[in-house]
């Protein structure tokens, strides 16, 4: 397995990070960038000219990750040549199916399952219910097949996102990538760096990903008990205090990011399902714990490898972590890079939702406020 990377920016145009002259031998290319750049046909044509035979997967982001830094207003390109691994891709558009569950079910039904070792998903981030998408993906797949990836992002919080397969990014597209063969080892990990505080509450009124009441108390009243007077803008304050759903299996809580509040209906929109009857607690964090958790995720993602370092680490982290880290956001990626001894190519982006198992040999879940890492190692 060989990896080469390049980055485009207005200042430097194309800058080569690493070059192995892959050209026609590249099988798969990841392109992560701003919403404007991933829609630029001329830029896509340049990438296609570089890698004429590759499957090219495009996603907009809330910030691009390459090597040990986070960039904005860039397009980051990671090209891969697999020597003993087959990949197969497919794309489903939201306007072709009934709902988010249906798009996931279509992908899991249509993907070739013989020798499938891993499924990666890159999805629209603003028009889809990520929880329902994942349930649909798991409907026709064996639990032994890990699903990793994420929802597309945007620099403007929770605005339109774009994904594409072998073309520029468009709205309403979900892409699946299947990996096949016994020579490719794929690791995965998710870590949050958040801890619960305050009492456990029950979700007593919700509708999919809209939360109305906790313990029969309006959700905004619940937050005001803890945060009123500490912040000028309550809506902005809620964004840095996600809710953690109790998983009931001894595993870390699934975090749910707050997106927006509807004052007329009294509902808080979250980035994943908030099921009635679930137990939740408010979550808190700080800069150091988030940065440390990113490094822990890097180390945990190598657990399947009993040889050397991975060939590639693909990071999908949450836009919600950006709200907390702010100017320290680069430290999170630097810690990942240091965990790999600065010897592993790193690519990725900040997203509206992350997909990964919480631990090895567990079903995949939709995460928010979480650093997820998928690592690849091809055995020659």
Q: What order do you get walking across the sheet with 346-351 strand by strand?
A: 69-71, 64-66, 346-351, 312-318, 371-378, 184-191
For the chain, the first-to-last Cα distance in angstroms comes to: 8
Are 359 and 304 within one domain? yes
Residues 98 and 123 grouped into a single domain:
yes
The predicted pLDDT at position 63 comes to: 96
Q: Are 224 and 237 within 8 A, CB to CB?
A: no
Distances (CA, A) of 165 to 99, 111, 121, 216, 247: 20, 15, 11, 45, 34
**How many structural domains comprise the chain?**
2
Do residues 136 and 15 both lie within one domain? yes
Same domain, 345 and 274: no
pLDDT at 164: 98
Helices 329-339 and 287-300: angle between axes, nearest 10 degrees: 30
**From the first residue on, what is the mean pLDDT of each consecutive set of 10 residues in the chain (380 residues)?**
96 94 97 98 98 98 96 97 96 95 96 94 93 94 92 90 98 97 93 93 95 95 85 80 86 88 88 93 95 96 82 96 92 96 96 90 90 93
Q: Tokens standing for 329? A: 């956001």
Buried b / exposed e across 190-202, counting CB within 10 Å, b at 16+?
bbbbbebeeeebe
Distance between CA atoms of residues 160 and 156, nearest Å: 8
pTM: 0.94
What residue numbers bound the domain in which 249 lies? 195-284
The CA-CA-CA angle for residues 71, 162, 347, to 5°, reads 35
Closest CA to 39 of 55, 14, 58: 58
Do 217 and 70 fall within a single domain?
no
**Does 151 share its domain with 137?**
yes
Are both 293 and 172 inside the same structural domain? Answer: yes
Distance from C-alpha of 127 to C-alpha of 130, rounded to nearest angstrom = 9
Show the CA angle centred on residue 330, arms to residues 328 and 332, nearest 5°.
Answer: 85
pLDDT, residue 349, reads 98
Copy the structure tokens of residue 314: 């693909």
Are the beta carbons of 239 and 323 closer than 8 angstroms?
Answer: yes
Tell me: do 278 and 297 sit in the same domain: no
Pairing of strands 312-318, 346-351: parallel
Domain boundary among 245, 269, 284: 284
- Same-domain check for residues 259 and 295: no
Helix/strand/coil for 294 = helix
pLDDT at 307: 65
CA 297/CA 367 separation, integer angstroms: 14
Residues 9 and 105 placed together within one structural domain of the fold: yes
Same domain, 176 and 231: no
> Are 139 and 247 members of one domain?
no
Last residue of a domain, one of 252, 284, 316: 284
Question: In which residue are the tokens 């020597």 written?
Answer: 83
Q: Are 187 and 314 in contact (CB under 8 A)?
A: no
Q: Residue 38: what pLDDT?
A: 98
Last residue of a domain, one of 240, 268, 284: 284
């Amino acid at each position: 397995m060989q990896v080469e990377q390049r980055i485009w920016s207005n200042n430097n145009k194309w800058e080569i990070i690493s070059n192995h002259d892959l050209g026609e031998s590249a099988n798969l290319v990841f392109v992560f960038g701003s919403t404007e750049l991933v829609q630029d046909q001329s830029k896509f044509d340049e990438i296609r000219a570089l890698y004429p035979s590759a499957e090219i997967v495009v996603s907009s982001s809330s910030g691009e990750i390459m090597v040990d830094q986070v960039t904005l207003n860039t397009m980051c390109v990671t090209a891969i040549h697999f020597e003993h691994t087959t990949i197969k891709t497919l794309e489903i558009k939201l306007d072709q199916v009934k709902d988010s569950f249906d798009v996931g079910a279509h992908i899991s039904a249509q993907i070739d399952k013989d020798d499938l070792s891993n499924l990666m998903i890159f999805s629209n981030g603003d028009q889809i219910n990520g929880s329902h998408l994942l349930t649909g993906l798991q409907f026709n797949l064996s639990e032994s097949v890990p699903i990793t990836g994420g929802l597309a992002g945007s620099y403007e919080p929770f605005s339109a996102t774009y994904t594409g397969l072998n073309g520029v990014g468009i709205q309403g597209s979900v892409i699946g990538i299947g990996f096949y063969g016994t020579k490719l080892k794929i690791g995965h990990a998710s870590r949050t760096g958040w801890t619960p505080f305050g009492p456990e509450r029950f979700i007593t009124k919700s509708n999919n990903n809209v939360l109305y009441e906790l313990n029969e108390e309006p959700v905004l009243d619940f937050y005001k008990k803890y945060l009123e007077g500490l912040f000028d803008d309550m809506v902005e304050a809620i964004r840095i205090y996600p809710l953690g759903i109790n998983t009931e299996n001894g595993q870390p809580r699934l975090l749910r990011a707050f997106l927006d509040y509807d004052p007329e209906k009294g509902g808080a929109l979250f980035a994943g399902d908030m099921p009635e009857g679930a137990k939740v607690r408010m979550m808190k964090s700080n800069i150091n714990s988030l940065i440390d958790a990113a490094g822990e995720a890097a180390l945990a993602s190598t657990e399947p490898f009993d040889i050397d370092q991975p060939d590639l680490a693909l990071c999908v982290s949450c836009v919600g972590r950006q709200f907390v880290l702010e100017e320290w956001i680069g430290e999170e990626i630097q810690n990942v890079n240091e965990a790999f001894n600065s010897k592993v190519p790193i690519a990725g982006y900040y997203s509206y939702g992350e997909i990964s198992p919480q631990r090895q040999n567990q079903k995949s879940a939709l995460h928010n406020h979480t650093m997820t890492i998928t690592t690849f190692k091809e055995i020659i």
